[in-house]
Amino acid sequence: MLVLRALFLTLFVVYQANALAELEEVFAWKELTFDWPNEDAKNAAIKDGEYVPENNLPLGLDRWKNKLFVTVPRWKNGVAASLAYVPLDAPINKSATFIPYPDWKANTIPKGDTKPESDNHIISTFRVSVDPCDRLWVMDTGLADILGSPKQISPPAVVIYDLNTNTLLKRYTLKEHEDVKASSFFANIIVDVTKDNCDDAYAYLPDLGGYGVVVYSLKNNDSWRFKHNYFHFDPLNGDFNVGGVNFQWTDGVFGLALGPQDSTGFRTVYFHPLASLNEFSVSTSVLKNKTLADDPHIYNLFKLEGKKGDKTQTSASVFDEKSNSLILTQLNRDGVACWNPKKPLNSDNFALIAHDPEKLIFTNDIKIDDERNLWILSDKMPAFIYRKLNPQEVNYRILKVKVDDAIAGTPCVA
């Protein structure tokens, strides 16, 4: 019995070792620095409390060519710029300085009670999305100092930039009552568009606090909101232990990932609430249809795919079409996992592909770029929110791995 057990444990360890991919640590920061116009501007910002280094936590990311976009939500006061990028030109500086995007002016909070002068501004953003038409989509919540003295500077809006010219294409403000509820919290944006039809783009905006999904159509300049029981959190799975911090969250629908197009041109959207172990799906033929948003008979158009397993709570997820794999952050397991929807979703087919009890503390966002690199941002956010980060340690990392290397040897490879 003991021998068998030892053998089993050995096999298990070997299997785990084979399954876990080696990640390249591309960036590692103790605290974030920004590309100020000059040293005087930086010192003035520190003096005025407009830049409090320890309050700047990177959270979301996406890549376009030699720019890696990183968001810095205004959780606390003193965020220098909420939208920035770090250059990917060689040689990469591992603790690179953040360059505000599109510029400093757009990232500057208006003084006192004044409103932003133009549509070209970003107050606070959690996640962004680069689309195949060289555009950057930003979900601007408009809310500053969330954990301190929250201030709604501008209403939640979808902001779109042309990446080739770095100019604003559009700012679409969500509808005050229809789209935005008192408890709304928009922390993610998923863009559904193909390169040959750039005008016909949709953005899906999960509302983790209001338990809904807002759909925005660029072509129709319109938005609508879906609600569904599956957008709610699971009260039995909102307990987290991450980086030595215990906390309870009620975050609902959070990650949406677009599966491959079917013969009708629509896609399966895989989605999950954050505080949940389940994965669900719905067709984009449903989400894109404004009429259905008000239809009370749509309950069965949303499906339960299955349960991922214990401690598998996920923030962001992405879909890799070539391998047909859904890739998901694993907040409660310091890692990243995958699942191939050709197989039923259960804990056997759900594989941990990256794990590191230090480097992957709170895998907040992931993205796949055009070269099929998987980018992972980890940022110790629970300690940032509930305790204090140690500025002598590396707190924020961005890591990279080829998708095929990440999923090799797992049930995700068909």
Ligand X SMILES: *[C@@H]1O[C@H](CO)[C@@H](O)[C@H](O)[C@H]1NC(C)=O
- Give, as ranges, the residues between 286 and 305 that touch ligand X (CB under 6 A): 289, 291-292
- Give, as ranges, the residues between 334 and 363 that touch ligand X (CB under 6 A): none
What is d(CA 136, CA 130) in angstroms, rounded to the nearest whole number? 5
Closest distance between ligand X and the C-beta of residue 205, in Å? 14
| Total residues at interface with ligand X (CB under 6 A) | 9
Tokens of 207: 């509302």
Look up tokens 């003193």; give the residue. Answer: 78
Task: Give DSSP secondary structure letters for 230-249.
Answer: GGS--GGG-EEEETTEEEE-
Contact 81, 104 (CB under 8 A): yes
Closest distance between ligand X and the C-beta of residue 89, in Å? 12
Figure out which of the listed residues 25, 28, 53, 95 binds ligand X, where binding follows CB under 6 A: 95
- Give, as ranges, the residues between 370 and 399 that touch ligand X (CB under 6 A): none
- Dihedral angle, C-alpha 99, 116, 124, 112, nearest 10 °: 110
Closest distance between ligand X and the C-beta of residue 59, in Å? 20
User: Which window, 146-154, 195-203, 206-214, 285-293, contacts ligand X (CB under 6 A)?
Assistant: 285-293
**DSSP-assigned letter for residue 266:** -
Closest distance between ligand X and the C-beta of residue 172, in Å? 7
Tokens of 334: 């310091």
Contact 127, 115 (CB under 8 A): no
User: Which window, 90-98, 240-248, 312-320, 343-351, contacts ligand X (CB under 6 A)?
Assistant: 90-98
What is d(CA 94, CA 27) in angstroms, rounded to the nearest whole number? 4
Closer of 24 and 321 to ligand X (Cβ): 24
Contact 399, 25 (CB under 8 A): yes
Closer of 217 and 324 to ligand X (Cβ): 217
- Give, as ranges, the residues between 29 and 58 that touch ligand X (CB under 6 A): 33
Kind of pairing, strands 125-130 and 135-140? antiparallel
By the rule CB under 6 A, 264 interacts with ligand X? no
What is d(CA 35, CA 116) in angstroms, rounded to the nearest whole number? 22
Tokens of 353: 């592909």
Closer of 120 and 332 to ligand X (Cβ): 120
Contact 280, 304 (CB under 8 A): yes
Closer of 18 and 66 to ligand X (Cβ): 66
Kind of pairing, strands 135-140 and 143-144? unpaired
Tokens of 326: 């859904």
**CA-based torsion, 386, 315, 106, 221: positive or negative:** negative
Figure out which of the listed residues 43, 66, 93, 197 binds ligand X, where binding follows CB under 6 A: 93
Closer of 77 and 289 to ligand X (Cβ): 289
User: Which window, 89-97, 251-259, 269-277, 334-342, contacts ligand X (CB under 6 A)?
Assistant: 89-97
Closest distance between ligand X and the C-beta of residue 30, in Å? 10
Closer of 96 and 242 to ligand X (Cβ): 96
Closest distance between ligand X and the C-beta of residue 285, in Å? 7
Closest distance between ligand X and the C-beta of residue 96, in Å? 6
Closest distance between ligand X and the C-beta of residue 53, in Å? 12
What is d(CA 180, CA 186) in angstroms, rounded to the nearest whole number? 9
Closest distance between ligand X and the C-beta of residue 128, in Å? 21
Closer of 52 and 169 to ligand X (Cβ): 169
Closer of 33 and 332 to ligand X (Cβ): 33
The CA-CA-CA angle for residues 63, 65, 69, to 5°, reads 30
By the rule CB under 6 A, 97 interacts with ligand X? yes
- Give, as ranges, the residues between 184 and 223 that touch ligand X (CB under 6 A): 221
Closer of 52 and 292 to ligand X (Cβ): 292
Strand partners for 173 = 157
Closer of 45 and 408 to ligand X (Cβ): 45
Strand partners for 373 = 402
What is d(CA 316, CA 366) in angstroms, rounded to the nearest whole number? 6
Closest distance between ligand X and the C-beta of residue 41, in Å? 15
Binding residues for ligand X, rule: CB under 6 A, are 33, 93, 95-97, 221, 289, 291-292
